[in-house]
Amino acid sequence: NAGVTQTPKFQVLKTGQSMTLQCAQDMNHNSMYWYRQDPGMGLRLIYYSASEGTTDKGEVPNGYNVSRLNKREFSLRLESAAPSQTSVYFCASREQGYGTEAFFGQGTRLTVV
Amino acid sequence: QKEVEQNSGPLSVPEGAIASLNCTYSDRGSQSFFWYRQYSGKSPELIMFIYSNGDKEDGRFTAQLNKASQYVSLLIRDSQPSDSATYLCAVNTDRGSTLGRLYFGRGTQLTVWP
């Protein structure tokens, strides 16, 4: 049982390049999330998807787009990468309801030069 | 104002002491409250959740929730060096227009010294 799988684990981009971070979960969860983590900033919510076919902005959506391809997959796209997007990105999934745990992928370390 | 605020620390306690971590949240409609632990270079992992006012105990950990004050805390008794990590408070609302939303605080870095 793989849980939440993110690809790639590491990536270096040049300013202005685009890329898509992939995330897949095999726990049949309705909700999926993309966070970024910068030193001293905790986890900041970029976008989330409460269910297949829906997406909503979080705290820091600018410069990103997302696609909930199906119930399993939720991708994050950087159309024109900027150095300010250098960060560690985490995907997570959870079932809806009181006290349900969010399960995280292993993270993607992205550097934009 | 962030949705979830934590005392940013860092917090340093001796082995065997009680570590107290605090969190406040802004949305009165929030329903569930979580504490995650994150070791350096790793993904967050759940320690506890709470959704009713009062205390909830699990081993050396106690979560406390006061919805009127919009405050949640985590106490770690008999702290061990292995507890040294960043502790993240998270708040969830699974209702209406905020269905599925899950916000985290900045985290508190805890060091337990021998």
pLDDT 10s digits, A13-71: 999 999 999 999 999 999 999 999 998 889 999 999 999 989 999 999 999 999 998 99
pLDDT 10s digits, A83-110: 999 999 999 999 988 888 999 999 999 9
| Residue B16 pLDDT | 97
- Phi, psi of B82, rounded to the nearest 5 degrees: -70, -10
Confidence of residue A8 (pLDDT cuts 50, 70, 90): very high
pLDDT 10s digits, B34-44: 999 999 999 99
pLDDT 10s digits, B10-28: 999 999 999 999 999 998 8
| Residue B55 pLDDT | 94
Q: Min CA distance, B43 vs chain A (Å)?
A: 6
Cβ–Cβ gap A99/B3 under 8 Å: no
| Residue B1 pLDDT | 60
Report how far residue A68's alpha carbon sits from residue A6's, in angstroms, rounded to the nearest whole number.
14
* Beta bridge partners of residue B113, listed in sequence order: B14
Residues 6+ away with beta carbon under 8 Å from B58:
B47, B48
Taken in order B23, B24, B26, B32, the sign of the CA dihedral is: positive
In the predicted model, what is the mean pLDDT of residues B82-111? 90
pLDDT at A12 over 70: yes
* Beta bridge partners of residue B37, listed in sequence order: B45, B87
Confidence of residue B93 (pLDDT cuts 50, 70, 90): confident
Cβ–Cβ gap B103/A56 under 8 Å: no
B3 in Cβ contact with B106 (< 8 Å):
no
Cβ–Cβ gap B34/A101 under 8 Å: yes
Cβ–Cβ gap B102/A94 under 8 Å: yes
Q: Min CA distance, A101 vs chain B (Å)?
A: 7
Question: Which residues of chain B lie closer than 8 angstroms to A71, CB-CB?
Answer: none
pLDDT 10s digits, B50-88: 988 999 999 999 999 999 999 999 999 999 999 999 999
